[in-house]
Amino acid sequence: MNVGVQTGNVVKQFGLETGYAMIREAGFDGIDWNLDQVWNPRETADGHPAPCIFEEEMPAVRKYFERELAVIGQNGLQIFQAHAPFPAYIPGLPELSARVPRVYENCIRFCKEAQIPYLVIHGISRAYDGSDMTREEMFQKNIDLYAPMIPVIRETGVMVLTENLFRYHEGTCYEAVCSDPDEAVTLLDTLNEMAGGPCFGLCFDVGHNNLLKWDMASYLRRLGSRVKALHLHDNDGSRDQHLGPYAGTVCWTELCSLLREIGYSGALSFETFNYYDLKRVMPSVVPVLLKSVAEIGRQFAGMIGCAS
């Protein structure tokens, strides 16, 4: 079982060469590539989405990522999964809804070329209080988002993963798309039936699950083999802190036991970018923290029973 980490703050803070070398030297087998960083979600959420490289023709996309892809390869790192730009929808911003199909199609095509098997694409969520749409309308919006991707998914073989998300409002976390296991199963099974095969799966985010106080056992047993990738990080149960394991309240022993039970055999991918944010730690500490996360990942792989 491979152990990976999201590129996030490591590469952003230390640059391509140093950042990827740090990931390799820490002992990770590969990465979850933050392709989402080409689009600033805060600017988009504020109603001012900037141009995105994935709106360009594929030769321009290849050129944009050429150097980074080379550095990843030079460090012997696999790319287990990637994260697409987000959000896909903002109420009252039809311009965004018109642009995202091309962004996601080209993102999927690029993943094929970069030999990335899974692409995480956030679904569309209701407002925290449900004032903007019903659950049924949210379901349909997500069908409308994902279903048009089926032809390019079938063409490329890249599986698109949704994720269990949450909404945050005035200090409280609320349910969002796929946070309810039954809703997640219904969405994925409907899409895969439309596709005529397994084109969609779930990236299980353990930190988000912890925020919403969903019973982890019920969730993972319900999703079962639909879980294809992971976002592993810890928090205090009230804030989406993206910390290293055992820095919060996630029960990691239970998680490993459940992953073993459902037969999960994908990568253990950590989304722990705040754990080594230079706003909170010294630069010299970052390699130490990275190495600790990688080693804990090896321990988890052993507990699951698929250690490499």
| Cβ contact 245:252 at 8 Å | yes
pLDDT at 161: 98
Span 10-29, pLDDT tens digits? 999 999 999 999 999 999 99
Helices (H) and strands (E) in the chain, counts: 12, 10
Please name the amino acid found at residue 283.
Answer: P
Q: Which two tokens stand for residue 38?
A: 């080409």
Span 24-45, pLDDT tens digits? 999 999 999 999 999 877 777 7
Which residue ranges make up each domain of the chain? 3-304
Q: Is the pLDDT of residue 307 over 70?
A: no
Q: Which two tokens stand for residue 22?
A: 């740090």
| Cβ contact 80:267 at 8 Å | yes
Span 47-85, pLDDT tens digits? 777 889 999 999 999 999 999 999 999 999 999 999 999
Strand-pair category, 30-33 with 78-83 = parallel
The CATH number assigned to the domain with range 3-304 reads 3.20.20.150
| Cβ contact 296:244 at 8 Å | yes
What's the rounded Cα separation, in Å, for the pair 181 and 195? Answer: 21
Task: Please name the residues in contact with 32: beta carbons below 8 A apart, sequence gap of 6 or more.
Answer: 4, 5, 6, 7, 80, 81, 82, 83, 229, 231, 269, 271
